[in-house]
Amino acid sequence: MSNINEQPLAPPETPPPTAARPAPAGSRWVVPIVVGVVSLLVGAAAGSAVTAVVIGAAQRADDAAMAEAAEQAKSEFFSDAANQCNLDGVVEIADQGRTMIVDGEGEDLGSGDVSFSDLDCIIDAVGAPASVKELMYSTRSLDGRQSGEWDDISASWSYHPDDGLDIIFEIVE
């Protein structure tokens, strides 16, 4: 039996909704500004890294090209010197252009093909300092093989009146 005085159960009361307070005027922009600044910093760092990689690659390519050009110039150095003195085919260029063999003429027939004036030209063309040039010209047959170095060039020579002044020039590292 039901009691008339009984009232149907009401759903539990929920608290009234609270009115949302609007955010202060300046705080709406904080998050977008922080995100923008962080994005800017990340972009700058990434751009710097990419630029460094590109510049590094370009520098390595330039260095390789310069090294190849320097090596090419070295391999042509003795050929250019022989050409300058009109001794192409008279002096021997060997070892991929890194050696030049000069056979100076002596008193014996067939001792060499390079005259004294041509020797003077070729010694000057390879940039021998005056001290080395003087040592070459003052070598006696009793002195044996002599040598000298300057810049990236080494020279060794011997002299005998019958055989003339014979010189081997080499490019050294």
What tens digit of pLDDT does each residue of 53-97 get?
Answer: 777 777 776 767 676 766 776 779 999 999 999 999 899 999 999
* Assigned domain for 10 exists: no
Quote the pTM value.
0.63
| Res. 36 pLDDT band, cuts 50 70 90 | confident
The answer on 158 and 80 residing in a single domain is yes
The answer on 63 and 84 residing in a single domain is no
Q: How many CB atoms lie within 10 A of CB 87?
A: 21
* pLDDT reading at 6 higher than 90: no
Give the pLDDT confidence score for residue 53 in this predicted structure. 73
Give the pLDDT confidence score for residue 25 in this predicted structure. 57
**Up-side HSE of residue 5: CA atoms within 13 Å toward CB?**
0
Q: What total number of domains does the chain contain?
A: 2
* Assigned domain for 52 exists: yes
Give the pLDDT confidence score for residue 83 in this predicted structure. 96
Tens-digit pLDDT profile for residues 120-143? 999 999 999 999 999 999 999 999
Distance CA 107, CA 118 (A): 16
The answer on 165 and 84 residing in a single domain is yes
The answer on 101 and 63 residing in a single domain is no
Distance CA 103, CA 113 (A): 6
The answer on 64 and 144 residing in a single domain is no
* Assigned domain for 7 exists: no
* Domain carrying residue 44: 34-70
Distance CA 92, CA 170 (A): 12
* Assigned domain for 124 exists: yes
The answer on 161 and 142 residing in a single domain is yes
* Assigned domain for 13 exists: no
* Assigned domain for 24 exists: no
The answer on 113 and 53 residing in a single domain is no
The answer on 97 and 50 residing in a single domain is no
The answer on 98 and 41 residing in a single domain is no
Distance CA 104, CA 123 (A): 12
